[in-house]
Amino acid sequence: MELNRQTAHELLDLLKNKKTTPEAILDSVHKQIQKSDKDVKAYVRLNQNKVDPKTANSRSVPIPIGIKDNMCILDEETTCSSRILKGFKAPYDATVIEKLKKSGAILIGNTNMDEFAMGSSTENSCYGATHNPWKLDCVPGGSSGGSAAAVAASEAIWAIGSDTGGSIRQPASFCGVVGLKPTYGRVSRYGLIAFASSLDQIGPITKDVTDSALLLNVIAGYDERDSTSVNAPVPDYRQALKNNVKGLKIGIPKEYFVQGLHPEVKNAVMAAIEALKNKGATFKKVSLPHTEYGIATYYITATSEASSNLARYDGVQYGIRELPKKTRKSPLLDMYDETRHVGFGAEVKRRIMLGTYSLSSGYYDAYYLKGLKVRTLIKNDFDKLFSEFDALIGPTSPTTAFKIGDKVNDPLSMYLSDIYTVSANLSGIPAISVPCGFSKERLPIGLQIMAKPFAEEMLFRIAYTYEQNTDWHKQSVNL
């Protein structure tokens, strides 16, 4: 038995029955990393974590986990895969990291990502691109591509990512794993290095739905240090894992099945809908009329917040400091310019400039303020449907994974990869992506399920039922 290829809940059962040990699980994962990460490149750095035999028996979840490189881990380097944060060691643990450590989780290392989470392919990293384990010349999705690739390649049992516009769900779809974006406010963002503060949310990337529920149990909950954290009871999400969708009403947004959706993706999603129909769920075509404005609204909102959040990286307080060879303005301003010029990659610079433009005098009302108004309309569309339906369902991404380099020079095409995912972030609702098929080229396809705020239990119920009646999640990469 290859322990690294098991799910977390399977390993927990083995541990409970004393058929394996935490040391054996960790060793199996490390061996897989040594074997395959030279090709996948999921990790940017590994921790020298070892299981403490004195505490191993008392640990509730001693399972190896990968952490996206934008979450603070005390005294460990955290760089957001950006040159500008090279050498920065976090002075504290993010709340999510605190919770994982208390649960006994073994933090393997930091996974690669698009720089400051800005991208849909994990090509915008100062460490280079991560490769899709299913087909190494393809992208794993982004920005949590390293986390998704690590889980798909069995280089981690499960992983943590962050989702600003689909950055957990889209790579989960591309890599054939399960990715959950919880409700905004369900998981603390304290210690998450911000991209867009009103959109970012931390969530699990796992091999199956049961593991997703287990990991959300660990990381969810109110945190007084996070002003956006919601003080609401956290249920035991494992109780929602029931193979039963009889009587549930699920909407199919017609806007998610228009031109641009690849036929193989459409066929896989429609087959998934039929499978759920056969289990007793009822479906109806519905409309989210403001979907067409989702991408524009998202990129106005996200880039504006990024422009503000990334202003702090100036070479003064932390990260790199680059001194110019000659004075142009003043020593201080020149140092700012040179540090940001050298430290930020092309995509981050592009988004900072877009956001600064949207927030500038004379354009604030025309762009940012208008974007906020449309965001409200998008949220109202969802609220209206969730008053009638238990969930909405559709594709996670319009295509399967594309080849590395195909969209690097076409930002607009890259941005459209998120067309089905950004609305959940704009609305703050939870959404999950689960595997639902493969293309002819043997690339995974993802099914996205969305529910009303704090209805993660509904997502788990539907996703678990679908999973129990198909075997897509059992397909694995042989690396």
Please compute, for residue 276, the number of CA atoms within 13 A of its CA located in the half-sphere on the CB side: 30
Distance CA 430, CA 274 (A): 23
**Is residue 197 annotated as a catalytic residue, yes or no?**
no
Q: Is 228 exposed, middle or buried (0-12, 13-18, 19+ CB in 10 A)?
A: middle
Q: How far apart are CA 49 and CA 215, in angstroms?
A: 20
One of 81, 120, 143, 144 is an active-site residue; which one?
143
Q: Is 331 exposed, middle or buried (0-12, 13-18, 19+ CB in 10 A)?
A: exposed
Q: Which of 55, 70, 175 is nearest to 125 (CA)?
A: 70
Catalytic residue among 28, 167, 173, 229: 167
Q: CA-to-CA distance for 162 and 434, rounded, in angstroms?
A: 17
From 28, 36, 41, 68, active-site residue: 68
Separation between Cα atoms, residue 28 and residue 79, nearest integer Å: 27
Spatial separation of the C-alpha atoms in residues 59 and 55, rounded to whole Å? 6
Residue with tokens 């969730």: 386
Active site residue 167: yes
- Which of 163, 444, 427, 464 lies closest to 291 in space, CA to CA? 427
Compute the distance between CA of residue 268 and CA of residue 472 in angstroms, rounded to an integer: 11
Q: How far apart are CA 366 and CA 424, in angstroms?
A: 24
Please indicate whether residue 121 is annotated as part of the active site: no
Type of residue found at 97? I
Q: Is the dihedral of CA 135, 141, 142, 145 positive or negative?
A: negative
With contact defined as beta carbons under 8 Å apart, do 340 and 351 qualify? no
Catalytic residue ranges: 68, 143, 167
